[in-house]
Structure 1
Amino acid sequence: MVSRKIAVPRLRAQLDSALPEEIEDETRLLDLALDEVDLSDLEAEHLEISGCRLTRSKLAGSDLEKLILVDTALLNCDVANARWSDAAVTRVAIVSSRMTGFAGPGISLQHTTVQDSLLDYASFRFAKFQKVEFSDCRLQNADFVSADLSGAVFQRCDLSGAEFSQVKAAGALFVDCTWDGTKGLSALTGATVAASSPIDTLTFATAVTQAAGIKLTHPDELAL
């Protein structure tokens, strides 16, 4: 297991369970244990969620501009098709959650782990990753255009069809990931790619070669 000493969420031993009757702009949700709570399609600006544990809860379709998410764990949650533009995420753990179609343009993630989660078609355009780790996640067709991945680790992630054009990748680490049809690989300058299987190494090398517009062939196929 690769580790960059990512800080875990700081949660109180005793958490409350009562939500405010109305959640609106600048509402603060502090030190709550939210089990099977449905916040689907919630719309708010500058909402703060701090010191909370959400279990089997729904944030699907939520539109939370400039969300502040701190010291929080999301366990088996549904965040599909949510839009959290310009959110600030710090010391957050997301486990076994559904984030298909999630959009976080301009999001800033620090000391954040995402494990065993589905993020197909998720968008992280112009996002910034500082001490962020994705492990055992499916990120098929995810969009990282113009993101700063310099502080990101991807372990055993399926990045098939993902888009990495114009990213900053110096310092990024990819371990045993799947790269079928991944786009923008030429932008991963300065990243480290590690693969346990020689076949996976060859697959990645071939994908990079194709991205650079280089054609590989056998000498017997050339008319010399």
Structure 2
Amino acid sequence: MNRRPRSGPPREPRTPAELQAAGELQLELEHEQTVETTAYDDADLAGAEAEAIVFDRCGFRRTGLAGAHLPGVRFVDCRVEVSDLSNLRAEKARLERVTLTGCRATGLAAYDGLFSDVAFADCKADLTNWRFARFDVVTFRDCNLAGADFTEADLRGASFTGCDLTGAQFHRATMAGARFRRCELSGIGGITSWEGAVVHPEDLLELSYVFARALGIVVDAGDR
């Protein structure tokens, strides 16, 4: 756990200006398949099952991946827009230089994954499972992460801005350097793991109540 996260915003995906539309070969996902420079626009991959597939320099727009099972999947230099990733099971996923914008990802399971240079924006990612995952220069902006599970995740390279983290779990997470700004933090679990986290002053009031509850302190606002 001596890794020092790289600073700076996530690097942008290196996707070509033009992508080839997905054909039958790209739509019938198979184990250990590599798909390159392909556009999955309005594609239906819901319920697909394939292990160790690689998407290299691909684009996804209005793509349906709901309920798919893609263990060990890799997304490299990809853009994912307004797509449905709800209940996608992607344990041990690897994302490198990926942007996800306006996506629905309720119930996404990406535990034990590695996320490097990844930007989530305006995503509905409540009830997601990030247990044991590692975040290296990852940003969450204006995302719904209510009930998300970051248990034992390495969040030293993650930042959260304008996110709803109501009821999110951080038990035994590594937090030194993780950044939070204008986030909803009520009901979070694992507050004792927040050593070294960087919190904006606007978030301190809510966080103080969480600390108090964790220490068994009763906050009484009544007059004496």
Common fold by TM > 0.5: yes
What residue in structure 1 maps to residue 147 of structure 2? 141
CA deviation profile, 1:117-159 (whole Å, cap 9, x unmatched): 0011001000000000000000111100010000000000000
The letter for the 2-side match of 1:177 is C
Q: Contact (CA 8 Å) 1:186, 1:212: kept in 2 or not? A: no
The letter for the 2-side match of 1:123 is N
The letter for the 1-side match of 2:41 is D
Question: In the alignment, is residue 211 of structure 1 matched against residue 184 of structure 2?
Answer: no
Alpha-carbon distance in structure 2 between the residues aligned to 1:18 and 1:77: 15
Question: In the alignment, is residue 63 of structure 1 matched against residue 69 of structure 2?
Answer: yes
Residues 1-224 of structure 1 mapped to structure 2, 5 A cutoff: 4-21=8-25, 22-196=28-202, 200-217=203-220
Query: Structure 2 regions of 5+ residues with no counterpart?
Result: 1-6
Question: Tell me, what secondary structure is at the counterpart of 1:9?
Answer: coil
Percent identical: 35
Question: Tell me, what secondary structure is at the counterpart of 2:211?
Answer: helix
Measure how far apart 1:219 and its partner are.
10
Query: Structure 1 regions of 5+ residues with no counterpart?
Result: none
Alpha-carbon distance in structure 1 between the residues aligned to 2:217 and 2:20: 59
Query: Using a 3 Å threshold, how does the CA distance of structure 1 residues 218 and 178 change in structure 2: closer, same or farther?
Result: closer
Question: Tell me, what secondary structure is at the counterpart of 1:64?
Answer: coil
State the TM-score, normalized to the length of structure 2.
0.92
What residue in structure 1 maps to residue 4 of structure 2? none
| Equivalent residues, number | 216
Alpha-carbon distance in structure 2 between the residues aligned to 1:65 and 1:112: 19
Question: Tell me, what secondary structure is at the counterpart of 1:166?
Answer: coil
CA deviation profile, 1:151-196 (whole Å, cap 9, x unmatched): 0000000000111111000010001100121111111111011043
